[in-house]
């Protein structure tokens, strides 16, 4: 049986590790690798709360003080995102969903998309099987943009793609390739001015856990360049593989001139840990979008939750 002495020692060890991770996470602006630590702000806060409770049970004053400080630091960082606004009656609805190439539960996703009846749907990690499944929604989404699959990834991930489905026709469409990996970074469609004019882009950035963190820096510049070439309102939805707490995310907003849709934290990955996971799926908007609110949807067999955005165009 673990004694109180070993329990206290373990508590000190865990608090030390959490304090180190929390401190290093604020050095992201100077070190991209350390900035990845900032993505785990929600787990840090949960861990600090649990350790505070443990310190109270063990009656360890210094440990209680340190846990309380760590909880306050991480909680303060999260506080701006506890905005629970909703706007189900907004005239424009966009859904983004990282399908997960290993997800075979197509029926759940198709039923969900039919129920939600969004104006535009953006999907990521689309395979040939998913493309065939999404074609069954042609009665709702007569206009579907499926750029050619990138064949530059490793053999286990061949065929990944971005898809955009819409109820109304667009006048132009295109893709932006990642200069870091040569895969498709973003796909976009531009609706006619009379519709009114609007560009919707689907984005899938590199994952810093798998690829060098610096790849995201390159892709941020590519996305910012894409946005600057767009005339009129823009909605950028996708899996950015970064949280709002990171310096990388701040750089993306600063360089692109976009802002995050409201609606709360919206932790979307991994889906089994929601709402205590990481908010890495976002909807960003630019000038010309008067109101933007997003919420996560239900589990649909993917490791991501879908994100539903409601928008009001105007200034």
Which of 102, 303, 280 is closest to 207 using CA atoms? 280
**Quick one: pLDDT at residue 6?**
74
238 HSE (CA, 13 A, CB side) = 25
**Quick one: pLDDT at residue 87?**
63
Which of 241, 205, 210 is closest to 224 using CA atoms? 205
**Quick one: pLDDT at residue 158?**
45
Of 78-82, 215-219, 238-242, the one with minimum mean pLDDT is 78-82
**Quick one: pLDDT at residue 88?**
65
Average pLDDT for 181-196: 82
**Quick one: pLDDT at residue 155?**
42
Of 51-55, 68-72, 126-130, 139-143, the one with minimum mean pLDDT is 126-130
Tell me the three state secondary structure of residue 116: helix
- Over 50: is that where the pLDDT of 1 sits? no
Contact 214, 288 (CB under 8 A): no
Q: How far is CA 228 from CA 91, 93, 140, 260, 291, in A?
A: 26, 24, 32, 17, 21
Q: What is the DSSP letter of 242?
A: S
- Over 80: is that where the pLDDT of 196 sits? no
From the candidate CATH numbers 3.60.130.10, 1.10.645.10, 3.60.10.10, 1.10.620.20, the one assigned to the domain spanning 92-313: 3.60.10.10
Percent of the chain with pLDDT over 90: 63
Rounded (10°) angle between helices 214-228 and 247-256: 20
Bridge partners, 199 (sequence order): 190, 234
**Quick one: pLDDT at residue 127?**
86
pLDDT tens for each residue of 282-291:
999 999 898 9
- Over 50: is that where the pLDDT of 159 sits? no
**Quick one: pLDDT at residue 79?**
86
**Quick one: pLDDT at residue 151?**
53
Percent of the chain with pLDDT over 70: 91
Average pLDDT for 32-48: 91
**Quick one: pLDDT at residue 3?**
52
Q: How far apart are CA 2 and CA 232, in angstroms?
A: 63
**Quick one: pLDDT at residue 93?**
95
List the chain domain ranges: 4-81, 92-313
pLDDT tens for each residue of 105-122:
899 999 999 999 999 999
CA 280 to chain centre: 3
Bridge partners, 175 (sequence order): 187
**Quick one: pLDDT at residue 184?**
84
Q: What is the pTM of this model?
A: 0.89
**Quick one: pLDDT at residue 210?**
78
What is the average pLDDT score of the chain?
A: 88
End-to-end Cα, the chain, rounded Å = 64
**Quick one: pLDDT at residue 29?**
87
Average pLDDT for 36-61: 92
- Using 50, 70 and 90 to split pLDDT, how confident is the model at 152? low
**Quick one: pLDDT at residue 194?**
61
- Over 90: is that where the pLDDT of 136 sits? yes
E-strand ranges in the chain read 92-98, 120-124, 143-145, 163-166, 172-177, 184-191, 198-204, 234-239, 259-260, 281-285, 289-296, 307-313
E-strand ranges in 146-270 read 163-166, 172-177, 184-191, 198-204, 234-239, 259-260
**Quick one: pLDDT at residue 148?**
75
């Amino acid at each position: 049986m673990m004694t109180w002495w070993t329990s206290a020692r373990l508590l000190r060890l865990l608090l030390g590790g959490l304090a180190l991770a929390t401190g290093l996470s604020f050095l992201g602006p100077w070190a991209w690798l350390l900035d990845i630590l900032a993505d785990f702000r929600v787990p840090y806060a949960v861990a600090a709360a649990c350790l505070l409770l443990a310190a109270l049970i063990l009656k360890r004053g210094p440990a209680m003080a340190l846990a309380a400080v760590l909880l306050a630091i991480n909680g303060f960082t999260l506080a701006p995102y506890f905005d629970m606004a909703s706007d189900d009656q907004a005239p424009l609805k966009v859904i983004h969903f990282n399908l997960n190439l290993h997800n075979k539960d197509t029926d759940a996703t198709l039923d969900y998309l039919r129920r939600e009846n969004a104006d535009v749907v953006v999907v990521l990690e689309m395979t040939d099987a998913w493309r065939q499944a999404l074609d069954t929604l042609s009665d709702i989404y007569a206009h579907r943009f499926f750029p050619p699959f990138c064949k530059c990834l490793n053999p286990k991930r061949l065929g990944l793609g971005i898809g955009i489905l819409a109820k109304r026709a667009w006048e132009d469409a295109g893709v932006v390739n990642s200069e870091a990996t040569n895969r498709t970074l973003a796909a976009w469609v531009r609706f006619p001015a009379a519709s009114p004019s609007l560009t919707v882009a689907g984005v899938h950035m590199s994952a810093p856990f798998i690829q060098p963190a610096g790849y995201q820096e390159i892709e941020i510049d590519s996305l910012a360049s894409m946005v600057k070439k767009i005339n009129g309102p823009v909605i950028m939805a996708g899996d950015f593989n970064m949280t709002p707490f990171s310096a990388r995310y701040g750089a993306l907003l600063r360089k692109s001139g976009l802002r995050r849709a409201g609606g709360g934290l919206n932790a979307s990955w991994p889906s089994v840990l929601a709402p205590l996971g990481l908010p890495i799926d976002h909807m960003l908007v630019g000038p010309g979008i008067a109101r933007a609110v997003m919420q996560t949807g239900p589990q649909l067999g993917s490791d991501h939750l879908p994100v539903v955005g409601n928008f009001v165009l105007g200034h």
